[in-house]
Each structure stands twice: as C-alpha cells, then as structure tokens.
Amino acid sequence: MKTLDPEQWRIIGRLITLCGDRARLSEILKSQEVSPESVTELAERGLIAAKLNGDDIDLTPGLIKTYRRSVYLRLSNAGESYYWNDPHRVLRSLGKAHHGLSLSYLLGMIVFDDVAELHRQGLVHALTEDTTVDLDSARQRWADSPVLVLPGGGEVFTNAVMVRTTKTGQRYSDL
C-alpha cells in the first residue's frame, strides 16, 4: 500500500482524535489546509467513509464541490488499522512536542528500525546534549535494549537521545 502524504496524514490524524465521531468535510478542508483530492484518495483507498444525508456515499471531486458542507467524514476500520500500524503516526506526537521526545519514549510506540527509517527519510533527527546521533548507523544491543551502540563503538542510553522532527517531518503534524 502506498504511503500517505502529509496532507492525508493530517486528515487521518484529525479523524483519529475525534475517537469515532464524524467531522464535517468543509471543516476538515479548512482546519487542516488540505486539498479535496487528498480526501478523495483516502476515500478511494477505503481509509475514510463519507456520509451525505445519513447515507454512505462514494466520495468524488464533484460531490465535494457541490456538497462540501453537507458531507460528513469518519475514519473507517481500515483507516484506524492503517493509523496504528504505520510508523509515521509518531510524527504527530513529535510535532506537538516543542523540544522533541526521548528515544526511549518513541521506542514504546514503534520499534527502533522504524525510527531509523524515519531518520533515513529525513523526517526526524536525533541529538544528545553535545552531539547529533546518526540513527542510520546506530543499533540497539538487543531488542528493547536501553543502550544504543553508536558507529564509532560508543554507547549512549536511549533516554539521553532526543528525537525531533525536521521541517519536512513537521508537515505530518496537525495544524
């Protein structure tokens, strides 16, 4: 399945915070600054469901243009499953934390390989008190180890590593 772009993540993130409640399409488009095409693509993939006058509908650009204020969106079961299984969801938490989050906190949400992949994609960067940490070359001693082995053989505790979003990663966070 193709990964979601930042606009689509903002839509999914907004709907997940509503805990199953519905949201008016016009409010989503305005508050999250997203395009109607992003909403249509999510509906085509089955990640969100749309209702018009209480009836489920297939969302099209024409319906969005005509019935923008009457259409309600909610997250489908497939959309909720996608949200909880995709590592990009941590970017929402990182984007809201002004000083970043510790690596040990993130490892409670996703595995280290996913954090390293986000680093390779240029969405996050990691640092300690005195230096930056290259998560591509770092590794844990064993799964769930509190120690991170750095490329030169040095070690650092995961709670001493702060992870922050880059400007690109910040686009995945809610507006």
- Which has the closest alpha carbon to 33: 48, 51, 11, 61? 11
Give the whole-angstrom CA distance, residue 61 versus residue 162: 42
162 has which bridge partners? 102, 127
Tokens of 86: 């995709």
Strands 155-157 and 48-52: unpaired
CA contacts within 13 A on the Cβ side of 54: 0
- Torsional sign, CA 156, 157, 162, 168: positive
* Domain 6-85, CATH: 1.10.10.10
Instruction: Reduce the DSSP state of residue 149 to 3 states and report it.
Output: strand
* In the chain, domain spans: 6-85, 89-170
Place of tokens 């243009």: 65
Q: What is the pLDDT of residue 175?
A: 52
Tokens of 146: 């509190």
Place of tokens 């984007």: 95
Show pLDDT as tens, one digit a residue, over the chain (175 residues): 577 888 898 899 889 888 888 999 999 999 888 999 999 999 999 999 999 998 999 888 888 888 889 999 999 999 998 888 888 888 888 888 888 899 999 998 899 999 999 999 999 999 999 889 999 899 999 888 999 999 888 999 999 999 999 998 888 876 5
DSSP secondary structure letter of residue 4: P
